[in-house]
Structure 1
Amino acid sequence: MMADDIFAEGFKDQPYWWEAAAPETDLDPLPSKADAVVIGSGYTGLNAATELARAGLQVVVLDGERLGEGGSTRSGGMVSSGQKLVVGGAIKGTDPELFSRMIGDSTSSFEYLQRLITTEGLDADLKISGRFFGAHARSQFAALHRNGRILAEKTGVSVSFYDRGNQRQAIGSDYYFGGMVVDEYGGLHPGKYHRALRERARASGVMLRSHAKAGPVKDGPNGLKIVPTMRGDILAEHVITSTNGYTRPDGHPDLARRVVPVKSYQIATEPLPADLIETLIPRGRMISDTRRDVIYTRPSPDGTRILFGSRPGLRETTDRAAAPHLYARMTEIFPELRDYKISHAWSGFVAMTVDKVAHMGARDNSDFAVGCNGNGVALMSYLGYQTALKILGQQNRPTSFDREEFAAAPLYSGGPNAWFLPVVAAWYRLQDWYERR
């Protein structure tokens, strides 16, 4: 197909997830005072807010845009535990004792998410279908095998390995040089999960307010804090920052130097034949690979489409302009999809950190939990919950992600379009290209 021919009739440059569960607007007046103010209405903020409200605190959640406008409803919706620490490379240079604690907390986050959705009956389309990790280059298979063994040993997951000769048992493609499947991983519907968290928060007494962009938190009278917003100031005892990939230097200058927003793009195909999806992605598995310039793909929760995520090039662009580049990458892996068009294209910011792990703590006059590093559905939900327990004094122990060390990116003051991102992206692509050759 020519680039302009890939778009289906009725194509939309917005998240596919919003078809079932769109962000919402709440313009009710802000309270002048609250026990706790949560800045950011994503998974982190909503889980923190609900826990605080159920403990009897008056809580308000603020978002600068619509509730659910940010990264939580723009992700791929993949759910896992410690794989990002091992396969993603965060293990390198980490103290073994700290790494062991991180793996434990990461595993706990996965268990927390499953327990939350199951016990509270949240409509989130959670399915534990497994995840395939492909070796994009011949040289990567040995590393994938080694990391898979570490993952199984440290987290207890079931890992199966496939060489290039039998990988079609795991994925309907000859693109990879083998890979591995982790049975316990899966995915959910990000939009529905977010909507369920909003409903849960409101039912617990949380006030949710959209279009209330918050400025720097200031010291107030009697040990309280002032949260200035575009809709008025709020006086609060506790403030939680959960802005993740949407952390702004004009709102949280210290945090913004430590969290780099990286734009990730996705497309969704038009409805596909059910047998084709089962052939390409058996059992509805999630899929990613060993590239530094990451790709990720999966079936939609209802099993009617394939979704594919990546970056289109070295610099940011519009969602529609990015779509042909993602389409080309997707059809390189699955040539059978060249006969089909795409219905949606969208993007969202992922919060990356220098050390590739999430962080909790206190900065910019507030408690915070940020830095999903592309693995935030379970982990950021859990860190929101843990932040609330910390404020309530109910933690059994501090999490491994709550520590003073949190490096800032060099010569960076915050916000998107960091000067070094095109350089890093070019270096990643060059290494990926060289390895595959």
Structure 2
Amino acid sequence: MDSLSMWEATAGKRKKRPTLVDDKHCDVVIIGGGFSGLSTSYHLQKMGHKTIVLEKDTVGYGASGRNGGELLTGYHGTMETFAQKKGFETAKLMWELSLDSIDLVENISKENGISCDLVRQGDIRPAYKVSHLDRFKRDQEYLAEKLNFHGVSIIERSEMKTELNTDFYHGARINERGAHFHPLKFALGLADAVEGLGGMIYENSEAVNIQRDSTSKVIITTPKGRVIANEVVIVTNAYAGNLNKTLEKSVIPVESIMIATEPLTEELMQELIPKNRAVSDSKNLLYYFRRTADNRMAFGGSGRAFGKRAQRMLFDNLREGMVTVFPQLKDAGIEYRWGGKVAFTQDFLPYIGQLEDGTHYAFGYCGKGAAMAVMAGKVLAETISHPDRVNNPLKKENLRPIPFHSQHSKGVGLMKFYMAFQDKYGK
């Protein structure tokens, strides 16, 4: 399902980066050339550390170059729930980190002149059911009363046309801090910024083995070379492979798919999403969508299929979903169809931490990683450079494999079936 994405087609000419050959030395070697890896390198280079990024394919090949390009706050679950589970102070830090993550993307873009079509108009979460709107109202009250955050507002169904010209939803939650951007343009721009700071990025350079020598140096072997470093960071997320068994078995890859229409008129796009916000609805198997800089509708949803016929059906169903939300698009041509993997953890929260052997990691953004993955890179860099100064609310201690991980594919299929049932018949 790795067909050409709209982002790849519209990102402009790529810079050709070298493949690792022979031995190279650095302070920190980073495995994974997506948002997290590039951000880790960027922030470490600014702190005076020499870094090398190893990417199996090309910069932004995975979720960083395939996602919906929506920069959203929060996590899977309400902040009130996290306060009950983790304590109020930790929940407060988690919320602040998610807000700061969007600011971080914006600041990096401005500081480095990265032209990535960033639009900071907020995001909207339409309520698929009346009960979902009630939940949004409770969450809004908690954010205002306990976290002193007043950037969230609620609109009823009668007001929906001011935000989305559709009768599909029962109201919505609006967060003024959200944004959307061209994710691959940002990834490529961040890679350029890394190299401008002296960092090295090697593409088509898969890390196939990790060893530690008698002096505690880390040796990363690729098909044509090696990197010898003091520290190693693994940020491969849903594309973990079998390089590190603990990380591989702590993440569940889940397929997501997107379609993008042909360029539409400014008038039509203004009619559909008047305030140009990022949109992700409240269904279990959610729809997420937004307008692009060239006036396409980019529309995403869940995807899991075996064989080309089943894949075509998935994309056809997604288009049907788009037209159900926006009947005005029934005659719009679809120019791009693509898919990729997002990573989920056992408790639906990102993990940022360190294994017993010293390996640093971050993964599991659960479909909300466009901003948080960039922030995770900053947290990793600060942890490596100043470990005693970092207060990381997403720190994961004692990482353990997910039970029955080898059966995760069947489990995801069953879970999606159950979620679809809940969407249709649940409250």
Distance in 2, matches of 1:359 and 1:180, equals: 27
Map residues 61-210 of structure 1 onto 2, 5 A cutoff.
61-82=53-74, 84-86=76-78, 93-153=85-145, 154=147, 156-210=149-203
Distance in 1, matches of 2:324 and 2:307, equals: 21
1:261 counterpart letter in structure 2: P
Shift of 1:358: 0.7
Q: Are residues 1:429 and 2:398 paired? A: no
2:215 counterpart letter in structure 1: N
TM-score by length of 1: 0.90
Encode CA deviations 1:249-281: one digit per residue, 9 max, x unaligned.
x21210111111111100000111211111111
Q: Are residues 1:278 and 2:308 paired? A: no
Distance in 1, matches of 2:321 and 2:84, equals: 29
Shift of 1:24: 5.4
- Indicate how the Cα distance of structure 1 residues 29 and 406 shifts in structure 2: closer, same or farther if over 3 A, else same: closer
Distance in 2, matches of 1:115 and 1:366, equals: 28
My pick for the range that moved more, 369-378 or 158-167, is 158-167
Distance in 2, matches of 1:73 and 1:47, equals: 14
- Indicate how the Cα distance of structure 1 residues 340 and 205 shifts in structure 2: closer, same or farther if over 3 A, else same: same
Distance in 2, matches of 1:390 and 1:251, equals: 23
Distance in 1, matches of 2:92 and 2:36, equals: 23
Distance in 2, matches of 1:293 and 1:152, equals: 28
Distance in 1, matches of 2:358 and 2:313, equals: 40
Structure 1 counterpart of 2:298: 307
Distance in 2, matches of 1:87 and 1:271, equals: 38
Distance in 2, matches of 1:101 and 1:57, equals: 27
Number of equivalences: 420
Encode CA deviations 1:35-86: one digit per residue, 9 max, x unaligned.
2110000111111112222333331111111222111010111112225452
Map residues 395-414 of structure 1 onto 2, 5 A cutoff.
396-413=389-406
Shift of 1:317: 5.5
Shift of 1:411: 0.5
Structure 1 counterpart of 2:250: 258
My pick for the range that moved more, 405-414 or 255-264, is 405-414
Q: Is the 8 A contact 1:354 1:408 kept in 2?
A: no
2:114 counterpart letter in structure 1: L
Q: Over the residues paired in the alignment, what is the CA RMSD in angstroms?
A: 2.3
Q: Is the 8 A contact 2:19 2:205 kept in 1?
A: no
Q: Is the 8 A contact 2:80 2:139 kept in 1?
A: no
Distance in 1, matches of 2:183 and 2:150, equals: 24
Identity of aligned residues (%): 26
Shift of 1:87: 8.0
Q: Is the 8 A contact 1:37 1:59 kept in 2?
A: yes
Distance in 1, matches of 2:332 and 2:372, equals: 35
Q: Is the 8 A contact 1:77 1:377 kept in 2?
A: yes
TM-score by length of 2: 0.92
1:382 counterpart letter in structure 2: M
